[in-house]
Amino acid sequence: MAAVVRRTGELGSPFYARLTKSQCERLHEATLWVLERVGLIIDEPEALELLRAAGADVEGTLVRIPASLVDAAFATVPRSVSLYNRNGQEVIKCEGYNTYFGPGSDCMYCYDHRTNQRRRAVLQDVVDAVRVTEACENLDFVMSLFTPSDVTEQVMDRYQMEAMLTYSTKPVVYVTLNDEHAHLDAIAMAEAIVGGPRALEEKPLIACYKATLFPLVHNREAVRTLLDLSGRGLPCIYAPVSTAGTVAPMTVAGSTVVVNAGVLAGLVMSQLKREGAPYIAIGWAGEALDMRTMVDVYAWPDHRAVYSSLLHWYDLPMWTLGGVTESKLPDQQAAAEAALTIMADAVGGGHMVHDIGYMESAYCGSLTQLLLCDDIVSWVKHFLAPVEITDETLALDVIDDVGPGGLFLKHKHTRHHARERFEGRVIDRRSYQQWVADGAKNATARAAERVDQILASPMAEPLAKDVRRVVHEVVEEAERHAGRRPSSLAGA
């Protein structure tokens, strides 16, 4: 469990906000101006009818949303969204300053820890990433990390979903392609595991991460997915993402306004479809192209924790990103940028921090980087944990017992509390002599060894064979619909 809920700026709180209350108010007013005056394109008939009936100005697919609809949506949207593991245990509770971590999805390339080479990712890489994430004690949810190049492209997302549900017990965040049936197949797989639609609604195992075409252009498939999930009472992570300088202003403030307009439009649509539908907003805006290289930079410091400050002001559940790097190798730059972005989003109070293990601006994923980030996340969680001041931790009786000049090494109090301190699985804290005796391996080599150990071990809680068969039948049906011959899941 992440750090407890505490107010930003409270004495003793490790959390902070980059925005003041007055700045949040100004950004909100600017967003309402965009929604009412500029409007946005929504290319989905049901959404257009819901908005028109509620009082929005609808001209074709151009929609202008009045502030009254935004206020009404804020009055019904849940301020807390929970996700559960396969066993029905609550793992994630998006509220306050609780923070959780997990990998990202859909990297085209894999940095192979066995060859130290970059190559196209395959389905086995998806399975391996899921298994490594399952073994990482400090990662709370799973995503696919890789885009498999060796399966039918039209049903690639079904294979990813099957791998996540088969090889992990953790909550699953999935991404679908531009196929209106893809998220229905994902839901069918999850229902087979938890015992049907009602069980899934009561204790959601899954959340769909759905991006729109642009912040102010909401394509039909994205909106249909949002409406369908809202109608079912299932969480949707709605993502009107932008790249500043292209589809949003270059400035952080301007980009935040444009993204926020898209987020609030999604919020309105979700609540018009079903009041009280769970809604998770993306928690970043201002990510930009480096105009010198035309690379979409993930590890900028400039925009970090800005939009999440506004979402905390709204008191909305959010989805942020960290553990990312522009480095092409799991090297010093990768470790530094991963650590800084994890810390920044955690201190800013992001609820679900994804993209752990991303390299090369999301083109490449690395299992060794994923494991190193697991240690970094553990460090950050220890840092954010509240300091406990009790009779037991003050240890006055122990100090009196040992006395001046005495050693606490043999005292039972020391033995009792020794394992509470941070201990990494990859980070090395041995003596130089011990390190040399073990082969003088650097962190990347140690992480690679740990990856192989995880993959050589049996999964602790394998999916039941009959349920696994039902899940794979969904993939087979999607393959037949695409006119292709089904493949077997890697690792089966």
Which tokens hold the place of 161?
């979903």
User: Cα-flanking dihedrals φ and ψ of residue 103, to 5°?
Assistant: -75, 180
pLDDT band at 288 (very low <50, low <70, confident <90, very high): confident
Point out which residues pair with 248 in neighbouring strands: 244
pLDDT category of residue 9 using cuts at 50, 70 and 90 = very low
For residue 11, what pLDDT band results from cuts at 50, 70 and 90? low
Report d(CA 170, CA 99) in Å as an integer. Answer: 16
Determine the pLDDT at residue 490: 59
- CA 344/CA 113 separation, integer angstroms: 28
How many Cβ atoms from other residues are within 10 Å of residue 395's Cβ? 17
For 398, counting Cβ atoms within 10 Å of its Cβ (0-12 exposed, 13-18 middle, 19+ buried), the class is: middle
pLDDT tens digits for range 27-43:
999 999 999 999 999 99
| Helix 220-232, helix 252-273: angle, nearest 10 | 50
The mean pLDDT of 370-388, rounded to a whole number, is 94
Q: Which tokens is 385 given?
A: 């944990």
Q: Is residue 434 very low, low, confident or very high in pLDDT (cuts 50, 70, 90)?
A: very high
User: Has residue 10 got a pLDDT over 70?
Assistant: no
Q: Give the Cα separation of 113 and 228 in Å (integer).
A: 40
Report the C-alpha gap between 68 and 247 in whole angstroms. 27
Least confident of 49-63, 450-464, 472-486: 472-486
Distance CA 66, CA 157 (A): 37
Phi and psi (nearest 5°) for 484? -120, 165
Whole-angstrom Cα distance, residue 349 to residue 304?
11
Q: Are 78 and 279 in contact (CB under 8 A)?
A: yes
Compute φ and ψ for 233, nearest 5 degrees. 75, 25
- 1-387+422-492 in CATH: which number? 3.20.20.480
pLDDT at 151 over 90: yes
For residue 389, the one-letter residue type is I
Q: How do strand 289-290 and strand 295-296 relate by DSSP bridges?
A: antiparallel
The 10 Å Cβ neighbour count of residue 237 is: 28
pLDDT tens profile 106-120: 999 999 999 999 999
Give the pairing type, strands 358-359 and 109-112.
Answer: unpaired
pLDDT in tens, 224-262: 999 999 999 999 999 998 888 888 899 999 999 999 999
User: pLDDT at position 2, please?
Assistant: 35
DSSP 240: -
Q: Tell me the pLDDT band of 165, cut-offs 50, 70 and 90.
A: very high
Q: What is the mean pLDDT of residues 408-421?
A: 92
What is the band of 207 on the pLDDT scale with cuts at 50, 70, 90? very high
User: Are the C-beta atoms of residues 348 and 305 closer than 8 Å to each other?
Assistant: yes
Name the burial class of residue 54, with classes exposed (0-12), middle (13-18) and buried (19+) by CB atoms within 10 angstroms of its CB: middle
**What number of other Cβ atoms are within 10 A of residue 418's Cβ?**
10
Q: Is the pTM of this model over 0.85?
A: yes
